Chains A and B, each alone.
Chain A
Amino acid sequence: MLKIGVFVCWCGSNIAGTVDVKAVVEAVKAEPGVVFSTDYQYMCSEGGQSAIRQAIKEYELGGVVICACSPRMHETTFRKAAEAAGLNPYMVEIANIREHCSWIHKDKEEATEKAVVLCRAAIAKLNLNKPLFPGESGVVKRALVIGGGIAGIQTALDIADAGYEVDIVEKSPTIGGRMAQLDKTFPTLDCAACILTPKMVEAAAHEKIRLFTYSEVEEVSGYVGSFRVKIRQKARSVNRELCNGCGECIVKCPSKTASNAFDEGLSKRSAIYIPFAQAVPNLPVIDREACLRFQTGKCGLCEIACSAKAIDYEQEDETITEEYGAIVLATGYRPMSLDRYDEFQYSQSPDVLTSLEFERILNASGPTGGSLLRLSNGEKPKSIVFIQCVGSRSDDGCGKSYCSKICCMYTAKQAMLVKDKYPDIDVTVFYIDVRTPGKNFDEFYRRAAEAYGVRYVKGMVGKVAEWKGRLQVQAVDLLEDKQLLIDADMVVLAAAIEPDPGARKIGAMLAVNMDQNDFFTEAHPKLRPVESPTAGVFLSGMCQGPKDIPETVAQAGAAAVKVLGLLSKDKLVGNPCVAISDETLCNGCSSCEALCPYDAITFEEKQVMVQGRRETRRVAMVNETMCQGCGACTVACPSGAMDLKGFTNRQIMAEVDAICR
């Protein structure tokens, strides 16, 4: 039988004031296995710990019960003390007689009685403890970043600068993401391209970074330290080794009617294209849906135009499989579709735009070459109305419940940019609240309103109507409590942002959950904000929640640090309290497999001994690195084959029995 030592802590007067510790020491002496019991003023002090070590040696203890504060406080401390005396650290059990007893009870007799019961339960459990040994696994010293926007680029650069290899997988033909579409950035008004493109080039040129653009993650298996990822590189129909990026093919392409996603569909592009001038890599791609050669079989002008002989109509998708120690999700966002906001005439009038579309209009490389023009007639507008919170903070069922966070600031920026160039244009902003919690943000907003004369009206717009070739905005001024009718030539809608729709598929592959708004959830909202619930998977940027560029960059750095912390280890030590399947009991029903949140259970045909006979059966196997030890499978198992180490059925039953004695 296991020889058990019991140590009852006074915690000064915290425990001893309400619990008669001496009585507890006496009461548990008769419990099965207890060969030694004592009390001490502060068990967690060096003196207390050395008392544990001494007793283990002197009485040849096989396990110890510490009656003290919550295991959430000092379990590790006591496990280490036991280990120092040669005991397996998992042969330690804690009875929580402070938080769950002395601190909440006034009556000394009652509290002492309860302390004895809690201690008995711990002893009963300990009698069934087995030494546990955490598993070890290796770490592949390479990271994968999914998404090549500013979040992904920054994370990759930070990891690569520390000397580790990083791959970026980006689904579009270039890295750069949403930030590349922006004209200026708040609150400093630096041009987005000027600060982003050097980073794009740096990432492409970095010897530790590989770019997989026009590529998608197709399959992920494995676990922290060694993920196996299948990446599909879609066929560009252009040979990347031969192409020199001259652009002759684009000039010659006769099919120039495809919608240009980089300009939010406000302009057209050719079938063979580079998304924008500073794209990285500077490598064209043939849009096979729009290409005459692919659609009709006739054409082939780009092939003729290409002096480098890089056009390859036969090119096929390529799939490669790589191994990674860590994965960062940086899948970004998009503005939500405004199809359900018909009251603003968004789908009817070309002069009603989303903010991102308006951003393209302001941009010198945009559809109007940077001149502020009405798309309906090409004239300069006299009055522009901005409507904030379109789809944000909404409870109408069409929109999002959250605040998109960036709209107040970019609206102030766009209004300011308009006023700066054309002081004669009337600019009105309708808002619910103006939220400016950032460094220099409120000053920026006040500059727009005060120095530039942008008119801010608190109120929501009810309707936008087309009227005599212009737009009429019907709204309420909430502060003045009156109806407003404003004539406008352009209306700009600050559409709520939403996570990129591709994120869901990737999240499912990695067992990373999404919240009710489809943003990835963090392992802990406050204390582990860049870690996903899946070990080895981290979050960067908008995919986790709305944030602006500085915040995104900061979070990207934080995610990189977490990755580096992982990659710098040679071995990962797991949690030994994981599920274990008894193959002689398992009947291969798969009930456990379906509800494991970590995909840690697989099935294997195995030879097992059943009642002295050898049988080949399909039995469950637990991957100890992936299992996080929740125990869901143990309850689902109809044959009782699944158990959880450290919290076995028998251990918990023993606790129940001890309490209900």
Chain B
Amino acid sequence: MPMSTESQVQANAPAKAPTNAPANAPANTLINTPGNEEKDGKAFRPLIVSFCCNWCSYAGADLAGSSRLTYPADVKIIRVPCSCRINPLFILRAFQRGADGVIVNGCHPGDCHYSTGNFYTRRRMALLFSMLDFLGIEKERTRVEWVSAAEGARFASVMREFVEQIRRLGENKKLGDIRCKE
């Protein structure tokens, strides 16, 4: 597995407490880990799929936009009605197709527009992520975040921080044999 112990240690910390984005994460430093080398002279740009529920997180992302808060263009958002609509298969598919990280965003627990949806999300993703980890897709490549419609700034900072984390991890090569990305 193309991972150095050093990056594992670094990346482990935020994964344990995913809601507290560590502000002290090293700023945009490309640590010299395999997968992080410059490819064709270009810095590694991860491919990140960010699922957002329509009512809170998608609106939070909109607010980040209207507040002009920047985060890397590597993040591509897919809108779903509720975080509970996110089938684990979508996440598997993303990794198979070459995503380097997947982040699931929903309303804060108790605030789901459909009242209980995100409780299911929480449980499903906990199971899925540990299974993915077991398969070799490190826990740090996946994350669940609760972002409300009012938390534009948080949405942007969570995305920045997640992208940074994936950059440090480098490219996702685990599913290389069956994925389409070269």
Contact = CB atoms under 8 A, between A and B. Distances in A.
Nearest to A635: B87
Interface string B126-164: 000000000000000000000000000000100000000
Contact of A629 (B47, B65, B81, B99): B81
A644 B97 CA distance: 23
Interface in A641-661: 644, 647, 649, 652-653, 655-657, 659-661
A417 B97 CA distance: 76
A290 interface: no
Nearest to B65: A99
A518 to B, nearest CB: 14
Which 3 residue pairs spanning A and B have beta carbons closest together? A99-B65, A631-B85, A660-B97
Interface stretch (A104-112, A293-301, A328-336): A104-112
B169 interface: no
Given A635-B85, A635-B88, A656-B78, A103 B66 contact: yes
A103 B78 contact: no
A630 interface: yes
17 contacts: A70-B62, A99-B66, A100-B61, A100-B65, A110-B73, A113-B73, A118-B76, A121-B76, A630-B81, A652-B78, A653-B89, A656-B94, A659-B76, A660-B47, A660-B180, A660-B181, A661-B97
Nearest to A659: B76
Contact of B62 (A72, A597, A631): A72
A96 interface: yes
Contacts of A99: 61-62, 64-66
A118 B113 CA distance: 25
Contacts of B84: 630-632, 635
Contact of B85 (A70, A595, A647): A647
A661 B93 CA distance: 12
Contacts, number: 131
B86 interface: yes
Given A597-B115, A634-B85, A660-B180, 4 more contacts: A70-B58, A72-B58, A118-B76, A635-B86
B150 to A, nearest CB: 10
Interface stretch (B7-15, B20-28, B30-38, B116-124): B116-124
A533 interface: yes
Contacts of B98: 660
A434 to B, nearest CB: 31
B44 interface: no
Interface string B64-75: 111011110100
Given A99-B66, A104-B156, A653 B90 contact: yes
A121 B78 contact: yes
Nearest to B181: A660
B79 A71 contact: yes
A661 B114 CA distance: 32
B61 to A, nearest CB: 6
Contacts of A521: 115
Nearest to A70: B62
Nearest to A646: B81
B49 interface: yes
A628 B117 CA distance: 12
A469 B61 CA distance: 67
A98 interface: yes
A121 B71 CA distance: 20
A533 B115 contact: yes
B59 interface: yes
A513 interface: yes
A72 B113 CA distance: 15
Contact of B70 (A105, A652, A653, A655): A105
B62 A117 contact: no
A401 B120 CA distance: 27
Contact of A634 (B65, B66, B87): B87
A103 B65 contact: yes
Interface of A: 70-72, 96, 98-101, 103-107, 110-111, 113-114, 117-118, 121, 513, 515-516, 521, 533, 577, 595, 597, 628-632, 634-636, 644, 647, 649, 652-653, 655-657, 659-661
B91 to A, nearest CB: 9
Contact of A635 (B94, B110, B120): B120
A656 B69 contact: no
A113 B47 CA distance: 13
Nearest to A595: B120
Contacts of B115: 513, 521, 533, 597
Contacts of B70: 104-106
A106 B18 CA distance: 28
Contacts of B80: 631, 647, 652
A577 B116 contact: no
Contacts of B85: 630-632, 634-635, 644, 647, 652
B49 A660 contact: yes
Contacts of A661: 97, 180
Contacts of B78: 121, 652, 655-656, 659
A337 to B, nearest CB: 26
B82 A632 contact: yes
A595 B116 CA distance: 9
Listed residue (A101, A628, A636, A659) with the most chain B CB atoms within 10 angstroms of its CB: A659
Contacts of A111: 73
Given A114-B76, A595-B120, A649-B87, A659 B49 contact: yes
A111 B137 CA distance: 29
B71 A653 contact: no
Contact of B93 (A630, A632, A635, A656): A656
A597 B73 contact: no
Listed residue (B73, B90, B98) with the most chain A CB atoms within 10 angstroms of its CB: B73
B99 to A, nearest CB: 5
A655 B120 CA distance: 23
B19 to A, nearest CB: 19
Contacts of A647: 80-81, 85
Contacts of A632: 82, 84-85, 114, 116-117, 120
Nearest to A511: B115
Contacts of B47: 659-660
Contacts of B180: 660-661
Interface in B50-67: 54, 58-59, 61-62, 64-66
B97 A657 contact: yes
A112 to B, nearest CB: 10
Contacts of A104: 64-65, 68-71, 156
A282 B143 CA distance: 63
Contacts of B93: 653, 656-657
B27 to A, nearest CB: 17
Contacts of A628: 114
A657 B113 CA distance: 28
Contact of B116 (A597, A653, A659): A597
Nearest to B69: A104
Nearest to B76: A659
A527 to B, nearest CB: 11
Contacts of B90: 652-653, 656
Nearest to A644: B85
Nearest to B70: A104
B82 A631 contact: yes
B103 to A, nearest CB: 13
Nearest to B152: A99
